[in-house]
């Protein structure tokens, strides 16, 4: 078994990466054993996985601390990504946030530092309740200027953004031509970026790192119906507003029937191919050559092994066509807006 890599600009990324949100444990994902984190990270590096994606907001810094502990002695084999909140993107606070991330991770540099969400009032409100920040957000020139300063200082090697639409990318690139990566949700039931964002990034020679590869377990086949999904993980537009039980804010009807018809097809195909539903879902993402690296959460070695095996699965035209045809109904219902948590008419991404 060998790992495949993508090369875009000066980036050399393993086709799958480790999403580290659960590391350190927290309210959203529950407890996470550090010994399991250590084992997953070491095994990943040994198997050629070099992409590790975390953020300051993940478990209030505990994710960074956990990842840093696991990387002791093997840091050189890792491409470490972290992100800064748009609410902390003033020049002074952004540079302070970077220093905290570096300390948490126990490293002298970040391989890639991203603006976590676009700098706009709706996006900022998810990071702070401070009206002064919401009403007077950081200027884009100030924020990206600080990122370019950090790069010149050697604190970060590459600059990226996360959850940026085409208009926002154009505005950001005009200020900071050094942006090399856009991280976006992308999977079988979250295909919004196909219409405009993937073509734009390809034209700009900008790498796309995909998140939500398994849609928080839905595309791993662990749920039989929408009712089985925990409410705090059923708050995206894929689900009816009431399914989130107070955690949803999109006020839309969802696409539950279409989603679980797609999951049913994946179960059928996985049996035919002799693979897990998760492997099939990962292989579908990797079949898109525009995706440089697909992030997948791995809570233990067994999950990581399953995910790595997905890189060997090359789906044929028939399987891809069937998946695309059935999941098209989800795309038609949810549209080309990649913000899956806000109402489609009031998006943080544009």
Q: Provide the domain limits for residue 132.
A: 5-221+276-313
- For the cut 80, the answer to whether the pLDDT of residue 348 exceeds it is yes
- For the cut 80, the answer to whether the pLDDT of residue 139 exceeds it is yes
What SS3 class is residue 230?
A: coil
- Tell whether 40 is covered by a domain: yes
- Tell whether 76 is covered by a domain: yes
Query: Do residues 175 and 140 make contact, with C-beta atoms less than 8 angstroms apart?
Result: yes
- Tell whether 118 is covered by a domain: yes
- Mean of the pLDDT values across residues 105-119? 98
Count other C-beta atoms under 10 Å from residue 325's C-beta. Answer: 11
Q: Are strands 16-19 and 112-115 parallel, antiparallel or unpaired?
A: unpaired
- Mean of the pLDDT values across residues 280-288? 98
- Tell whether 18 is covered by a domain: yes
Q: In whole angstroms, what is the distance from residue 161 CA to residue 242 CA?
A: 32
Structurally, the chain folds into a number of domains equal to: 1
- Tell whether 337 is covered by a domain: no
Q: In whole angstroms, what is the distance from residue 328 CA to residue 161 CA?
A: 27
Q: For 288-344, write each residue's pLDDT tens digit.
A: 999 999 999 988 889 899 999 999 999 999 999 999 999 999 999 999 999 999 999
- Tell whether 257 is covered by a domain: no
Q: Are strands 5-8 and 11-14 parallel, antiparallel or unpaired?
A: antiparallel
Query: Do residues 161 and 181 make contact, with C-beta atoms less than 8 angstroms apart?
Result: yes
pLDDT confidence of residue 258: 98
**Residue 86 dihedral angles phi and psi, to the nearest 5°:** -65, -20
CA end-to-end span of the chain: 40
- Tell whether 73 is covered by a domain: yes
Name residue, tokens 């749920």.
Answer: 223
Q: For 60-109, write each residue's pLDDT tens digit.
A: 999 999 999 999 999 999 999 999 999 999 999 999 999 999 999 999 99
**pLDDT over 70, % of the chain:** 100
Tell me if the pTM is above 0.85. Answer: yes
- Tell whether 198 is covered by a domain: yes
CATH number at residue 160: 3.20.20.100
pLDDT-based confidence at residue 1 (cuts at 50, 70, 90): low
Query: Do residues 184 and 197 make contact, with C-beta atoms less than 8 angstroms apart?
Result: yes
- For the cut 90, the answer to whether the pLDDT of residue 27 exceeds it is no
Q: In whole angstroms, what is the distance from residue 350 CA to residue 347 CA?
A: 7
pLDDT-based confidence at residue 32 (cuts at 50, 70, 90): confident
Helices 34-46 and 62-70, packing angle to 10 deg: 50
């Amino acid at each position: 078994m060998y790992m495949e890599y993508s090369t875009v600009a000066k980036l050399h990324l393993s086709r799958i990466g480790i999403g580290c949100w659960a590391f350190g444990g927290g309210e959203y994902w529950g407890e996470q054993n550090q010994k399991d984190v250590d084992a997953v990270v070491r095994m990943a590096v040994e198997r050629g996985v070099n992409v590790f994606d975390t953020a300051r907001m993940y478990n209030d810094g505990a994710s960074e601390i956990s990842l840093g502990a696991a990387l002791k002695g093997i840091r050189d084999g890792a491409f470490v990504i972290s992100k800064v909140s748009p609410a902390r993107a003033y020049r002074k606070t952004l540079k302070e946030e970077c220093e905290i991330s570096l300390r948490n991770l126990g490293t002298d540099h970040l391989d890639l530092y991203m603006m976590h969400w676009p700098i706009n009032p709706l996006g900022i409100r998810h990071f702070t309740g401070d009206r002064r920040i919401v009403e007077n957000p950081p200027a884009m020139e100030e924020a990206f200027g600080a990122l370019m300063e950090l790069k010149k200082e050697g604190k970060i090697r590459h600059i990226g953004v996360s959850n940026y639409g085409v208009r926002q990318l154009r505005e950001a690139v005009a200020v900071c031509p050094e942006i090399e990566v856009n991280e976006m949700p992308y999977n079988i039931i979250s295909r919004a970026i196909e219409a405009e964002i993937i073509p734009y990034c390809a034209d700009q020679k900008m790498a796309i790192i995909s998140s939500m590869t398994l849609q928080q377990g839905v595309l791993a086949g662990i749920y039989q119906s929408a009712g089985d999904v925990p409410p705090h993980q059923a708050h995206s537009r894929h689900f009816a507003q009431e399914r989130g039980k107070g955690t949803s804010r999109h006020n839309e009807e969802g696409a539950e029937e279409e989603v679980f018809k797609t999951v049913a097809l994946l179960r059928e195909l996985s049996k035919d191919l002799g693979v897990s539903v998760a492997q099939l879902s990962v292989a579908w993402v990797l079949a898109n050559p525009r995706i440089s690296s697909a992030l997948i959460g791995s809570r233990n070695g067994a999950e990581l092994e399953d995910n790595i095996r997905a890189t060997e699965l090359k789906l044929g035209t028939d399987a891809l066509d069937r998946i695309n045809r059935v999941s098209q109904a989800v795309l038609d219902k949810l549209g080309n807006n990649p913000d899956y948590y806000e109402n489609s008419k009031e998006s943080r991404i544009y």
